[in-house]
DNA sequence: ACAAATTTTGCAACCGGTTGCAAATATGGA
DNA sequence: TCCATATTTGCAACCGGTTGCAAAATTTGT
């Protein structure tokens, strides 16, 4: 159907190799030849078949982009940066939606079949099997928004979730809160559990206890439902650290719908700094995770991995900062 | 690097064709043979190379998914449905972010090189060149959330934007509003201009005039900025139809930040019914565009196109419904 | 103008599969 | 049991490119 190299060669009256060479840069072709071939190619509307060439070159320029979070708006930004970053480097994202796969390991299998050059896993609820499966398949993998295992044995880009949890606890304590609670995302998400771990350690180091609960998903509804449950159960804490903005915004909505004032009656601290957190009608105080930087660094790391196959696994962690808005009582000056 | 068909054939002591056949269903292989081959394949960890086979079969099962809207959360939902729908049908989405391409036509070129079986264009600001380019390249294309041209000469799935605009006007007029304005998205988006067209016609048929302005993008900030401009310019209308929820929510935020009450001082009507529109802290009255259905129908249509190449172009349009929330004054009973 | 060095070109094998066709094997009927 | 028929298997060519190698053409030096 499509025009092939052979047809171009015939029309230009040259060998197939010659045509191939004019379309691979760095190959030796005379100007005369190049012009002849380009003319024929233009006339025929030829464009080389990337997949056929991948067969011999061993590179498809396909990068698997795996995610399982299509409910948190956070990922739209991430997708934007991932895709434009990959494209800018002449790589193409093959998107995999883990949510709708019966067995997550099928994703690995599928990406193998499509000979992707590498994989970016953008998820914090990723099955632990992934790292080893990709390693066994010899596919370089970058885990974005994932857990940093201390001894970096896989490529990780993100924040230090334990640190972020501790930072949250410290922030709340500094604000004078004592009756503090942790409102997590899904228990299966390493982001939620690691943040809890750091949060817990920091609380303990101040001699404070706290309660914690989980929402089933990283979604508005999950956060809202969980907070409604807490309200109905009575005995609210003075402040909640929601392990993600989308959870926190859901919680905020639950509080509002029950007439509980924020931050006067209950405080909320989020994490992420979603665009929505800054909307006037939400105005959530939160800890900022630099989403764009993380996505962008993940692509950079992927490219390094491709250039330098034997490379040591590396973790790239970014700092978090507090974004002061309206859902926490202010820091008392001089307190 | 990876295990090939040939190695499996050697280990199983059979021909390469035999191995190929056990992995393509509908091929004639005896049970004995199948078992032998599967055993060898399992031992070697073989998985067939989808790209190599595409070379002879002419099908890659790759579907280009083109979009240029990575700011409107609306698309996250769309992506979710697109990707899971495609996966469920054994197709793989190759994502293209138009925003970051210097020349949109490059996208077509790229997708040709990767021999995609089809393309889903999810955008309402798509260059008109696309339809013809894909047709010339003989790649079936579905335009989701796009303009329905009356005489369907391309495959379109979405809503009837002119009708939706008229519906909006009618709704506002029924509510007793007379000083009405239209707050559009980007002028380049056919969704914005078509909605305006229908809106305009309906207003005219009631003998009413109205003003309209555009926001540069479909984004919160664009809507907010434009509404701030309108406020500062003085002379606000009684009600605004925001051509998209994200624009409307931005406008809402602008009004709130200036102490203008909604719906008492100014009314807002959105379009889309984003998840956020339903959040208590936003509570936007809006016209619902069935995003999931549209995405899902787009995938269905794509599959039909693949099964039946000579098929006539078709438009699938979905109805819109009003979602009553808190940003419009109520319909007076018996009025 | 000629030989040596350099560049350009084409041949042919290969990448990892598929598939039409004919040979080989299995099945059924009498 | 033997032959006709149906099924399974392997051969070899092909899909659309790439690439090592040697032959052909060009450039360089003198």
Domains belonging to chain B, first-starting first, are 5-48 (1.10.260.40), 62-159+291-318 (3.40.50.2300), 161-290 (3.40.50.2300)
Name the residue among A213, A227, A215, A225 with its Cα closest to residue A186: A215
Residue B148 has pLDDT above 90, yes or no: no
Distance, in Å, from the CA atom of A125 to the CA atom of A127, rounded to the nearest integer, reads 7
Mean pLDDT, rounded, for B276-297: 95
Give the CA angle between residues A277, B221, A184 to the nearest 5°.
15
Q: Looking at chain A from residue 55 to 94, which residues have their Cβ under 8 Å from any Cβ of chain B? A: 55, 58, 60, 62, 65, 70-71, 73, 75-77, 79-80, 83-84, 87-88, 92-94
- Least CA distance to B254: which residue of chain A? A280
Position B294 scores a pLDDT of 97
Cα B226 to Cα A204: distance, rounded to the nearest angstrom: 49
> Minimal Cα–Cα distance from B83 to chain A, Å?
6
pLDDT of residue A148: 72
Tell me the pLDDT tens digit for each residue of B56-97: 999 999 999 999 988 888 899 999 999 999 999 999 999 999
What confidence category does residue B138 fall into, taking pLDDT thresholds of 50, 70 and 90? Answer: very high
Q: Would you tell me how many other CB atoms lie within 10 Å of the CB of residue B55? A: 14
Burial of residue B228, with CB atoms counted within 10 A of its CB: 0-12 exposed, 13-18 middle, 19 or more buried: middle
Give the residue-averaged pLDDT of B167-176: 96
Bridge-based pairing of strands B141-144 and B180-184 is unpaired
The candidate with the shortest Cα–Cα distance to B112, out of A86, A48, A1, is A48
Cα distance between residue B299 and residue A140, in whole Å: 31
Residue from the list B95, B113, B220 with its beta carbon closest to the beta carbon of A83: B95
Sheet holding A180-184, edge to edge: A211-214, A180-184, A239-242, A267-272, A286-288, A321-323
State the Cα–Cα distance between residues A62 and A95, nearest whole angstrom. Answer: 10
Could you read off the pLDDT of A145-156 as tens digits, one per residue?
Answer: 988 765 568 999
- Weakly modelled stretches of chain A, pLDDT under 50: 335
- Closest residue to C9 measured CA to C1′: A18
pLDDT recorded at residue B333: 62
CA distance to partner chain B, nearest, from residue A118 (Å): 14
What secondary structure does DSSP assign to B293-305, as a single string?
A: HHHHHHHHHHHHH
Quote the CA–CA distance of A76 and B117 in Å, as a whole number. 26
pLDDT of A333: 62
DSSP state of B5: H
User: Which tokens go with B142?
Assistant: 């579905």
Q: Looking at the predicted structure, is the pLDDT value of residue B219 above 70?
A: yes
Cβ(A294)–Cβ(A158) under 8 Å? yes
Three-state DSSP state, B229: helix
Mean pLDDT of B168-172: 97
- Confidence label for B126 from pLDDT (cuts 50, 70 and 90): confident
Can you give the pLDDT at residue B214?
96
Average pLDDT, chain B: 93
Query: What is the model's pLDDT at position A22?
Result: 95
Both structure tokens of B229:
């401009």
Residue B151 — pLDDT band, cuts 50, 70, 90?
low
- A223 contacts A246 by C-beta, under 8 angstroms: yes
If we measure between CA atoms, which residue out of B319, B325, B291 comes closest to residue B73?
B291
């Amino acid at each position: 159907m499509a025009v092939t190299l052979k047809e171009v060669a015939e029309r230009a009256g040259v060998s197939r190799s010659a045509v191939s060479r004019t379309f691979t840069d760095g190959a030796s072709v005379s100007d005369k030849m190049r012009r002849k071939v380009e003319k024929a190619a233009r006339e025929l509307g030829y464009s080389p078949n990337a997949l056929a060439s991948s067969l011999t070159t061993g590179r498809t320029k396909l990068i698997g982009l795996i995610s399982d979070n299509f409910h948190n708006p956070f990922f739209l930004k991430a997708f934007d940066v991932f895709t434009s970053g990959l494209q800018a480097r002449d790589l193409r994202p093959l998107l995999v939606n883990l949510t709708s796969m019966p067995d997550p390991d099928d994703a690995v299998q599928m990406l193998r079949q499509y000979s992707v050059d590498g994989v970016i896993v953008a998820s914090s609820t990723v099955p632990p099997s992934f790292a080893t499966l990709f390693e066994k398949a010899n596919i370089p993998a970058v885990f974005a928004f994932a857990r940093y295992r201390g001894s970096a044995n896989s490529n990780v880009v993100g924040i230090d979730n334990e640190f972020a949890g501790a930072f949250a606890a410290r922030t709340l304590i500094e604000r004078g809160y004592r009756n503090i609670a942790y409102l997590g995302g899904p228990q299966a998400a390493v982001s939620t559990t690691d943040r809890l771990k750091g949060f817990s350690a920091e609380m303990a180091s101040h001699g404070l206890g706290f309660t914690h609960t989980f929402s089933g998903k990283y979604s508005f509804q999950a956060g809202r439902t969980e907070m409604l449950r807490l309200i109905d159960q009575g005995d609210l804490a003075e402040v909640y650290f929601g392990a993600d903005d989308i959870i926190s915004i859901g919680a905020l909505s639950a509080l509002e719908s029950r007439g509980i004032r924020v931050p006067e009656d209950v405080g909320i601290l989020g994490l992420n700094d979603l665009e929505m957190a800054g909307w006037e009608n939400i105005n959530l105080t939160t800890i900022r995770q630099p989403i764009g930087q993380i996505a962008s660094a993940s692509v950079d790391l992927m490219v390094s991995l491709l250039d330098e196959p034997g490379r040591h696994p590396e973790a790239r962690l970014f700092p978090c900062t507090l974004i002061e808005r309206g859902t926490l009582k202010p820091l008392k000056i001089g307190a």
